[in-house]
Structure 1
């Protein structure tokens, strides 16, 4: 099994059964029978874990208009009076002009690459956590990663002071761990290119952690930065000869490893010098160039300056003569022959002959380290049933087991991303950290900067006509390997406080009873639960730990047991740091099954909707760095194509699917199979009836239901929209066909979908009603011409307020209002269940309810402003004679056309109103429509009226004979 999977550790270690593999390790101990009463022992194994911030500047590419006289590469003199036709635009790279400007394609691509780095998981790599744009400089990015105080540089400095050499076995262990990390990076098509003794860190268990491995990849192999990446002492010769960009060959890292191992063995870098040109010439001499003014004296073991011989450069290129002579002279300094052989292989001049990291890792010298590697993948052999195997080796084990039998040890690991999220939740700010520790200076307000900065010709440098000009500022930004270390000890204190008692964990048991809203006992008002928990650090720590356990069980255990628990627990709050995984689990997505399905689809074939995808994708949420990047475009294209090919029998792609897929892609960037499976599950649950070739009937049904619910909860707004002829078809179709993803920004979609995914598929109706109701005061002043402003206002909606209002409306609306009450080929006796033409149904401004909602109406949660319950008022508008023969308990018989009716209805304003009409339904429809126009809320018509009650709930009715017998 390859070492790239070495994150799957030994089963004997309890940490290997955690959802996250590397990070802050937490162990909670308590007595099994007393866990509810006593305090628990919390131990944190951070291994010296810290956060680091590495600021670096990238190049902005701008198009600047210059006169022809300033055009780089122009040798002929031009008149200073050149007309405008002689001016043209040139593309220029700008280091740091200090001008505020929007994010551009360079930074978008950097962000997309950073997401790939955050997917890397290996025991010998620090976790790359995030890349965030600087708020001070528009061409600066802040890289946040795991870090440690101790480094190989410090180890060598201590060794130099004590004059004690590092044992060869320890050096070999270093080589083994570095090669494991390099092999993993190279298997993911990444070249470190920055390997040096400063970037090799140690945790408190003396395990190697490579840092700064992502800068070369982030900068597009050095293309987006104005400085060379890498330490000159460890740069491979081919990287030096490639000039600015250097070599992207991963074997450059192998050369760097050889240099580092040699540095450790000797205690110093033998070709180091204060002059970079001398260092370069010494390295090129070892590479085989004999005209570099440098040679190596094998007797004094020092480099010496000489006069260059008169022969061509290429004659001796890749020759091993110089490096072999050099290594042979210092062989006595390297005690281990195998280690010397590895160094010799690493320092092979010709990169084609130089072995790869994986080849070196298979060297027999490393076999002993592989046997004792705690992170090696284990093959578990099922033993045969032998009686002696069940017996203990000694009685001491039995005694110890008995003593510790009641002690429970609960392990978990918080990843670097989660640590960073919690640190920010506690008030951590990377910009303030940089300023407080001297890595950045406070800058003046952007309003104090000049609006226009002229670019002088003296700032433009160019070599030849074939090279692009580079605009340099006076303070050109160079590569700086310094990082700002952030101490997170206060976070560890918070961890212990959160897990020490069982109070928070016990409170999580209440999530089974709650339903996204907290009900106030004093006034009956409900508040959105997530709003009150999003800043509670200790609660989120415990919540994340519980989600870790459930997500691990979901992926590797029985999902039928863990998924309902995830669903119920998510109702309390969904931590943003786990949002993507939780969404997928709630939708029933399994990682392995998703990969099998996705990679079984042939994406190389030409799809029927490819050209439409190419048109839609560049318009989809292009303000978002990931979705506007090249990688974002290609991943979204493949996901949409996979869905299209999987549903090719429908022959239909609806515009808007790109918006639906976008949130899942952002949360599963570089995990296309999981993003695709999540999109598929989401569409199947919420949009299946809409993403078909002919969806007009479904759309009409949805628009009618939305219109009726709007009338039910806000008849004033509903009637106004109808009066100005602004029907739902003119503005609301994109809301439902994309579940608001086309309308809102992704940060608002995240909050909205957290709720939608946990509720019945009818919740989007109530979201739409609450959303438009937020702008009621503006809409009531509008006419039809101003109606388009509704669309422009909706993106500014207060999402949390909208969710709170929608959930309240959902909980106080009869369930049958959103359910289709008609069936095809219904029995004639069940006339109320027979299908009706849509044109006729559109005349009904109110919803219909079923008899079950009427029967359960006593459990209504409607309350007045004082929190007092408002009982349902049942209005029976049949003739008095029919009413006396049979009626529903507590119903009121009323003449719908009576002169006192308006006054009577006004007296019950605010109460839910259910109308029981004669069988013809015409009177009932007219009466309910009139109540809506009178702006009475909560009006509904009982579907089927008294006939439906007699058919399904006859025992609840009061008959005339019953009244007579009662009187007697």
Structure 2
């Protein structure tokens, strides 16, 4: 959105038509309230941005079908000319006409007409330029069908609109609704406006409405409507003195027959504007963040570089976008209903007075029908920014222009937290409601996103601190490494022909949405659409990157092998991080198949409400495809005490109505689990295959905070695929030889891979015989021969947990053998006796022999 500049925030309210309570749709369900329909149509209006149109900002729904709309507003309007009783100069008339037509033409290109054009809806900014207000009222109300009042003003309505009469869907006297008004309707209204400017008085102001409408309809019999109107209002001499091009413009606008009346586009190209059109440059839509065009192509440095310097008394807040200012206004305590109530636009009445009728004890009935005059109050209330400005008065001017090249900061400290360092430590829900903190975070992310993808590393860095809700949609797109011309890719996508991925629509958790452009494949997760409601291309691009990354092949017609592998790896993660819980759940038969499938199919949207999912996904998108396993384990650990205390039936009931989950704790613990999990431990052969260098499936990739193991170059030390039956037979996960070497090297190199006590995080347990161990082993490993623990027939003889392993509890235990079956048995027993973080070296000691890293003990002298 464009900056606030000299504009203000204005709010107006109206009621949608109330639907009868006893009427249902063809599907047997209650009808969608008209206020909900209006709210949905409003969303597209926020994307209609033009210098001649007042920017729509927000809409809120209140009680009794009340709607409150927030938009860009200016105190000055064309009605000021009428109040002063002055006529506008011909030059001013042509300027206003041309600018109004520019706005109307842009609306028409978006399939909209104004229909409510009037003197008080044509606003003027501080430079005297036109800003059309309330241009979306006709569109959002479905051409007036969803409200009980007509859209437009009798004095300005075109004759064809008046001839159609009023209409309401509940009125049985009308067989069919009138056709929606077209662009030419607004041209007539413009003609009336221009006539009033030239005459210096309101048209038909002192005539009764019914007489006024009759008069307008009789104009069809007149040859020169402009002359007739001038005679009727006693200003014929004034009108005759107008230049010929202005008179010609009035006659073309006030053409009675729509078929002969020009459209705004035709009128803009008319010769009457020959001396005006050259003063205006055609409007060019700003280049979006994700496109193939150069976003900075229009930027120019001033001749005097000092012009860029700001004065000490600069109003920095006015430089911010309108939606930012409104968002901060709400955080600072702004209340729309309170503002309208203070101006007596919303009038509260005792409940008994709002009833259509009420009956006393003696049976006497009192009351009246609903007062329809309160359904539309055309007053726009200016929202005061004093409270917001007072809240931000201590924010230094430098905070509005943060530096992005500060290399001194380090994670998790943020560049933007210098002034509000204490706030960073507060819970996320508090930070999101802190006005000053959100201002600084929004400004920082706005600058980083404008520099995307050049500053993608900093976007990732700051996202690890938190993501401001206002910019979450674009921030998620950046985290998913969306680049390129997403609109062209979206438009080239066939959205109608049935494809195999339509299988997703058939699932119980799917969500299919339809727009005017056709069916869009947005499945089971409405969140990208929620954040990019008016940008289908961006929502599609985000989903195109999200699904392959986290849900690759989950929605095949036969996806059993994919799901089963995923659930098996999840079971191994539970055993790895919480063996006691894993043992209990396995003992009572409460396996992940019974509760976790909807978790992963919907990436936990089946578990959490929307506001919690936003916080969860802020972190999820920073991790790789294995991060959902850690979230699942974190959820189970929050329910740990109840799960351990209950049997199968109680656990089923517990998950049928899942208790409240602390989302911040879940995120915090899932990060900790993720950091403790070796990358190869979550390897899946049915995960997304390795991508080409620089390709994320939807354009060039960003540097991931933690890359997928599948994306790493494969070597002889990499983990090998395992058949599903063999994978299910093992309780503990396998890790690759390269992971083991990496972890061992890091543990020796410094404290980054050590526990808080300073001990290494990993211990290798070699279960080969003493002789084999002596021929070569991993440096620092301990030897517990398998033969001393298990008999030849697999029976346990001695528990290894009572030996030297007791000293290594809490570390990652890697079981190494030359036989994978023996290693799996040994690891399973460690899990059974509640040893955490037990895993198996994939391929055994044979994988390490070619590396030359095995240590041979020196012979004793």
TM-score (norm 2): 0.79
Distance of aligned partners of 1:510 and 1:229 in 2 relative to their CA distance in 1, 3 Å threshold? farther
Question: What is the Cα deviation at residue 481 of structure 1?
Answer: 0.2
Among 319, 342, 359, the residue aligned to 2:266: 359
- Between 1:536-545 and 1:709-718, the stretch displaced more is 536-545
Aligned to 1:151: 77
Distance of aligned partners of 1:944 and 1:204 in 2 relative to their CA distance in 1, 3 Å threshold? same
Tell me, in whole angstroms, the C-alpha distance in 1 between the residues paired with 2:413 and 2:738. Answer: 25
Q: What's the CA shift string for 1:593-641, capped at 9, x where partnerless?
A: 322223234445x525799788679x756xxxxx8xxxx434696212x
Tell me, in whole angstroms, the C-alpha distance in 1 between the residues paired with 2:558 and 2:649. Answer: 30
Aligned to 1:172: 94
CA contact under 8 A between 1:511 and 1:571: conserved in structure 2?
no
Distance of aligned partners of 1:213 and 1:936 in 2 relative to their CA distance in 1, 3 Å threshold? same
Q: What's the CA shift string for 1:826-860, capped at 9, x where partnerless?
A: xxx98995554322321222222234443425267
Q: How many residues align?
A: 772
Tell me, in whole angstroms, the C-alpha distance in 2 between the residues paired with 1:532 and 1:359. Answer: 54
Does residue 133 of structure 1 match 2:133?
no
CA contact under 8 A between 1:512 and 1:568: conserved in structure 2?
no
Distance of aligned partners of 1:705 and 1:529 in 2 relative to their CA distance in 1, 3 Å threshold? farther
Among 596, 619, 629, the residue aligned to 2:488: 596
CA contact under 8 A between 1:534 and 1:573: conserved in structure 2?
no
- Between 1:261-270 and 1:784-793, the stretch displaced more is 784-793
Q: What's the CA shift string for 1:528-548, capped at 9, x where partnerless?
A: 995574334344434433444
Aligned to 2:464: 571
CA contact under 8 A between 1:517 and 1:529: conserved in structure 2?
no
Tell me, in whole angstroms, the C-alpha distance in 1 between the residues paired with 2:820 and 2:554. Answer: 30
TM-score (norm 1): 0.71
Tell me, in whole angstroms, the C-alpha distance in 1 between the residues paired with 2:735 and 2:345. Answer: 65
Aligned to 2:119: 197
Report SS of the residue matched to 2:379: coil
Q: What's the CA shift string for 1:1-25, capped at 9, x where partnerless?
A: xxxxxxxxxxxxxxxxxxx4x223x
Tell me, in whole angstroms, the C-alpha distance in 2 between the residues paired with 1:285 and 1:839. Answer: 87
Aligned to 1:951: 850
Does residue 58 of structure 1 match 2:16?
yes
The 5-angstrom pairing of residues 716-731 of structure 1 reads 716-731=580-595
Tell me, in whole angstroms, the C-alpha distance in 2 between the residues paired with 1:501 and 1:837. Answer: 59
Q: What's the CA shift string for 1:779-808, capped at 9, x where partnerless?
A: 334433344445444584333322221112
Tell me, in whole angstroms, the C-alpha distance in 1 between the residues paired with 2:157 and 2:308. Answer: 57
Distance of aligned partners of 1:835 and 1:197 in 2 relative to their CA distance in 1, 3 Å threshold? closer
Tell me, in whole angstroms, the C-alpha distance in 2 between the residues paired with 1:878 and 1:747. Answer: 52
Tell me, in whole angstroms, the C-alpha distance in 2 between the residues paired with 1:402 and 1:637. Answer: 51
CA contact under 8 A between 1:517 and 1:528: conserved in structure 2?
no
The 5-angstrom pairing of residues 472-871 of structure 1 reads 472-473=369-370, 477-492=374-389, 498=395, 500-501=397-398, 505=402, 509=406, 513-514=410-411, 533-554=431-452, 559=453, 561-590=454-483, 593-603=485-495, 606-607=497-498, 620=510, 632-634=513-515, 638-640=519-521, 658-660=523-525, 662-789=526-653, 791-794=655-658, 796-820=660-684, 835-855=721-741, 856-857=743-744, 858=747, 871=761
The 5-angstrom pairing of residues 350-389 of structure 1 reads 350-373=257-280, 376=283
The 5-angstrom pairing of residues 37-186 of structure 1 reads 46-47=5-6, 49-64=7-22, 104-134=32-62, 137-157=63-83, 159-160=84-85, 164-186=86-108
Does residue 338 of structure 1 match 2:245?
yes
Tell me, in whole angstroms, the C-alpha distance in 1 between the residues paired with 2:686 and 2:111. Answer: 58
Aligned to 1:890: 780
CA contact under 8 A between 1:752 and 1:799: conserved in structure 2?
yes
Tell me, in whole angstroms, the C-alpha distance in 2 between the residues paired with 1:191 and 1:586. Answer: 38
Report SS of the residue matched to 1:209: strand
Tell me, in whole angstroms, the C-alpha distance in 2 between the residues paired with 1:378 and 1:757. Answer: 31
Q: What's the CA shift string for 1:128-161, capped at 9, x where partnerless?
A: 1111111xx141111111112222223432x23x
Tell me, in whole angstroms, the C-alpha distance in 1 between the residues paired with 2:188 and 2:757. Answer: 75
Question: What is the Cα deviation at residue 181 of structure 1?
Answer: 0.7
Give ranges in structure 2 of 5+ residues lacking alignment. 168-177, 287-300, 416-423, 690-714, 790-795
CA contact under 8 A between 1:285 and 1:322: conserved in structure 2?
no
CA contact under 8 A between 1:529 and 1:572: conserved in structure 2?
no
Distance of aligned partners of 1:405 and 1:430 in 2 relative to their CA distance in 1, 3 Å threshold? closer
Tell me, in whole angstroms, the C-alpha distance in 2 between the residues paired with 1:227 and 1:123. Answer: 29
Alignment root-mean-square deviation, CA: 4.3
CA contact under 8 A between 2:717 and 2:738: conserved in structure 1?
no
CA contact under 8 A between 1:53 and 1:430: conserved in structure 2?
yes
Distance of aligned partners of 1:195 and 1:274 in 2 relative to their CA distance in 1, 3 Å threshold? same
Question: What is the Cα deviation at residue 483 of structure 1?
Answer: 2.3
Give ranges in structure 1 of 5+ residues lacking alignment. 1-19, 25-45, 65-88, 92-100, 289-315, 380-397, 460-470, 519-525, 622-626, 641-656
Distance of aligned partners of 1:510 and 1:748 in 2 relative to their CA distance in 1, 3 Å threshold? farther
Question: What is the Cα deviation at residue 369 of structure 1?
Answer: 3.2
Question: What is the Cα deviation at residue 373 of structure 1?
Answer: 2.5
Question: What is the Cα deviation at residue 736 of structure 1?
Answer: 2.4
Question: What is the Cα deviation at residue 677 of structure 1?
Answer: 2.5
Tell me, in whole angstroms, the C-alpha distance in 2 between the residues paired with 1:374 and 1:728. Answer: 63
Aligned to 1:653: none
CA contact under 8 A between 2:562 and 2:686: conserved in structure 1?
no
Tell me, in whole angstroms, the C-alpha distance in 2 between the residues paired with 1:613 and 1:226. Answer: 41
Question: What is the Cα deviation at residue 550 of structure 1?
Answer: 4.1
Does residue 430 of structure 1 match 2:356?
no
